[in-house]
Structure 1
Amino acid sequence: MARNEEKAQSMLNRYLAFKNEEKKKPKERRPYLASECRDLAEADKWRQQIIREIGRKVMEIQNPGLGEHRLRDLNDEINKLIREKGHWEHRIVELGGPNYARSGAKMTDLEGNIIDVPNPSGRGPGYRYFGAAKQLPGVRELFEKPAEIKKKRNRYEIYKRIDASYYGFRDDEDGILEKVEGPAEKEIREIALREWQRAEDIKNEARKTVKSGEVASASGVLFEEEEDIVEEERREKEKKEKETQTEFVVHVPLPDEKEIERMVLEKKKKELLSKYASEGLLEEQDEAKEMLNVHR
């Protein structure tokens, strides 16, 4: 009896399931062409369905253990769905709906850069790679940036960057010279101030010693004292210069003015004789001078 009851329940379950399937509407299939759709709500529904399929496949392609062939097939399917989604978005705009393509997210590479590269296999422009497909052989090279070749600068580019700083006209703007020259300028000012104060003290002392009506003589005394100070400083300076100079000693006797005149005269005589007298005449003249013991 138990066996028959189980069979009856099983048949009843199948019967009820069949009745439920009959009550359901037939499963709708997405139109092959977006242009066949005439309803905006239907077009938006099919677009949402495609987005869900893309999401499932993108999650699946993240697994690098699927193998190269499966990854390439999944990547092709995702690109096909993306193109189909673009067709439905264009159809939605035609039916008066919003433009989803304008605000859609962009595809990026491994470094986050927006990509839209042509595929060397001939699949057309706009082919994109997702997940583990980016690490496939021959694909990673598409995302690697070529090494930048340094271009040699020409003369125009070199001189274009030359300004006033290059010639040192702005060296005092960095504050370094101000730090170095500040203490030196302060010291020079103090020395000048002390000299001026000493001169003023001398003038005041001279005015105190001068009686009324003798201002001219006091100024003369003051001028003489200032001259003495200047003369003393000049002598000290000359003394220091003499100490620093090295004395030059001549070890060869130098001719005086008379000796130089005689030598010049002798040279001119020889030039005139060589010009107007023959060699034989010169020899006879030399012999006569030797006989007469004349050495001029």
Structure 2
Amino acid sequence: MARNTEKAQSMLYRFREAQAAELGLGTRSDRRPRMASACKSLRDCERWRGEILREISRKVAKIQDAGLTDYEVRDLNDEINKLLREKRHWENQIVALGGANYRRNMAMLDDDGKEVPGTKGYKYFGRAKDLPGVRELFQSRKKEEDEENEVLAFYKKFLNQGPSYFGDLDEDDKELLRQEEAAQQEDWQQAQAYLAETLEFSEQDELPAIPLPDPLSSTDTMDTDAEVEKSRLYARQAASYISFLQEEHLMAPKMPTREEMEQILLKLRKQALVEEYFGDEKS
């Protein structure tokens, strides 16, 4: 009867040992640790990660077998996902020990070059994508993605349109300016006719000519005497037809200047400080 030392030197024993190492089984003293953080050797971490990759490759090839039952396919898919989680633990430990960073955010692709489907980290490989319930899940998700893409494609038409979309270049179009001026003159005449009808003027009465305001000069304050006198003349003509209005009521309001506004604000701040420290004088 052969002793253990002689068994260890036999060709069959060494073949079985190499076969077990290739399959990731190994001997009891050379098994992969359960906790990746327990391994403090960078070389061993790289070795165990490579072993897990070989196991994943074998199981992914096996899950393509058409002779497997649905239960076996589910079990194989669960084992592959379990190995993927374990691989991430070893990669984290490799990074912690100062090794290479294998945790690249890259999409996992199948044999056809398509991204492996899955949700929340759980992936489906091979025949697992055709299991009852899984196919319907992916079809519903694909329908939702198509609807989101349609909505995004619709709103993309309104992105990055440039100044012409917002009408900032309309002032450069002379034809458009002429059309706007004609429409503005027509609206102004209709407003004059409505005013005459409201004031019950007859057709024989001649209304004073009300000039169309200039949009460029309307933003400026009337500082010159000529502009003030012109406005006063229009107000006097309009007040002559309306007995209950005076000239001052039809004058354009006089906007305060910047210096006057600063004086008003300064006065209000002084009054607020006096009331804060000395109280209200009226009380």
**Structure (1/2) with the larger helix percentage:** 1
* TM-score, length of structure 2 as denominator length: 0.42
Larger Rg: 1
* TM-score, length of structure 1 as denominator length: 0.40
